Amino acid sequence: MNYENIYIEEENNIATITINRPKKLNSLNKRTIEELQDAFKELDEDNGIKVIVVTGSGEKAFVAGADISEFADFSVQQAKRLAAEGQEKLFDFVENLSTPVIAAVNGFALGGGLELAMSCHFRIASETAKMGLPEVSLGVIPGYGGTQRLPQLVGKGRALELIMTAGMIDAQKALDFGLVNYMVSQEELLPLCLKIASRISNNSSVAIKHAIKAVNAGYSYDVDGYAVEIDAFGTCFGTDDFKEGTTAFLEKRKADFPGS
């Protein structure tokens, strides 16, 4: 598939999606959101891809926000549809993807950019990264899941402070808050992401898919996460990956997971 605003590189069962709108600081417009959804869907359906890394082109920005020029004159109903469709097409879609997604936050991650990073399964930041949800300075609130995922990651008080002040935090504070897992130099960012992705890719993709589902269930108000875990645990016992993993353990060798 030909993409205008992103490009994909694949190596050793790992795909890297790079958002490539450097003149717009990689901001998310409608086309980019659609291209990202298509790319994530395509890679998730590819059994040869075990992990996805998403980052921004250049060193200034991961994603500096949504493209405000596209929706500045929207009506109330158009705005509600924008948020609903965006959440369904990209942000919720990524969060619930069965393939692990790592955000390599290489610069500004603001507004929709931070919301995209938070929808990934975890985040690694460069020392130069800056993160925030500045929407209230524009007279609006985060609409792509920011009011929900930020409190889950950093706690209600810190999330409300960040949202209400429209301020930015640096990578060190993001690390202290638990918003990112690691902070490294710009040069070390992608190598570390790929190193962790490689470790993930050695494990059972089938089991990882169930783990993602079970963990996410714990953050759903209308789902019993423990029940989902029990069901997923049992389901794993009927898979080829479980047979291979346990057999390899008993035979004292490295597992070669068939996956599915």
pLDDT at residue number 112? 97
d(CA 118, CA 103): 8
pLDDT at residue number 259? 61
7: which 2 tokens? 């490009």
202: which 2 tokens? 């050695």
Dihedral of alpha carbons 73, 24, 177, 16, sign: positive
Contact 1, 42 (CB under 8 A): yes
pLDDT at residue number 258? 81
* Residue positions annotated with a catalytic role: 115, 135
For residue 2, the Cα-to-chain-centroid distance in whole angstroms is 22
pLDDT at residue number 133? 98
Contact 151, 133 (CB under 8 A): no
pLDDT at residue number 69? 85
d(CA 139, CA 144): 16
pLDDT at residue number 68? 85
Contact 204, 257 (CB under 8 A): yes
pLDDT at residue number 2? 85
Average pLDDT, the chain: 96
Residues of the chain with pLDDT under 70: 259-260
pLDDT at residue number 158? 98
